[in-house]
Structure 1
């Protein structure tokens, strides 16, 4: 995972029985809950995340290549 000012990069392996939208919804929902518990002032906001997301598959690219991309400060 890499956190940028306006987005987050994540490399996730998930069960193909679930859709990517279910996975994203779970990440956003749980992280919103934890953040609001830790920072109660966030309870004033109607939501912490937008409904949008972008995903891509790694295909035949190795995990190491993806991690190097995520950790490269010059790509974003």
Structure 2
């Protein structure tokens, strides 16, 4: 039996695992992601990930930032994934919670991303540099 961490996705012409860690903050790092807003944000992002065929592995919504550990399709550019999450949240949360309209926008323009997988960067580099390939 294979462990969950060894599970790869099969696509038309490839096999792999595309996982990304995303971090982004509300505009001016305001602590607005609390209570009903936090709960609604969680619901919106669960629905979005289901629609897009993405899998949220972990999600932390702090009052002033978000950590999202997400499995995506290899054809999905990271900047468009971020745009989808921020855009969906901004549209619906600002409609449903008038207090958020006081901010010039819900999210800051910047974000952090880091790709992840089953093997560390060091392990891959060591494998490639191993003389057994020569």
TM over 0.5: yes
Aligned pairs, number: 61
Distance 1:45 1:14 in 2: 30
Where does the alignment leave 5 or more consecutive residues of structure 2 unmatched? 1-58, 120-134
| Stretches (4+) displaced over 4 A | none
Task: Name the SS of the counterpart of 1:10 in structure 2.
Answer: strand
Corresponding residue of 2:110: 52
Corresponding residue of 2:90: 32
CA RMSD after TM alignment? 1.6
Distance 2:91 2:75 in 1: 25
TM-score, with normalisation over the residues of structure 1? 0.68
RCO higher in structure (CA 8 A, sep ≥6): 2
**Aligned ranges 1:4-43 → 2 under 5 Å:** 4-43=62-101
Distance 2:91 2:107 in 1: 11
Higher strand share: 2
Distance 1:16 1:60, change over 3 A: same
Higher Cα Rg, which structure:
2
TM-score, with normalisation over the residues of structure 2? 0.41
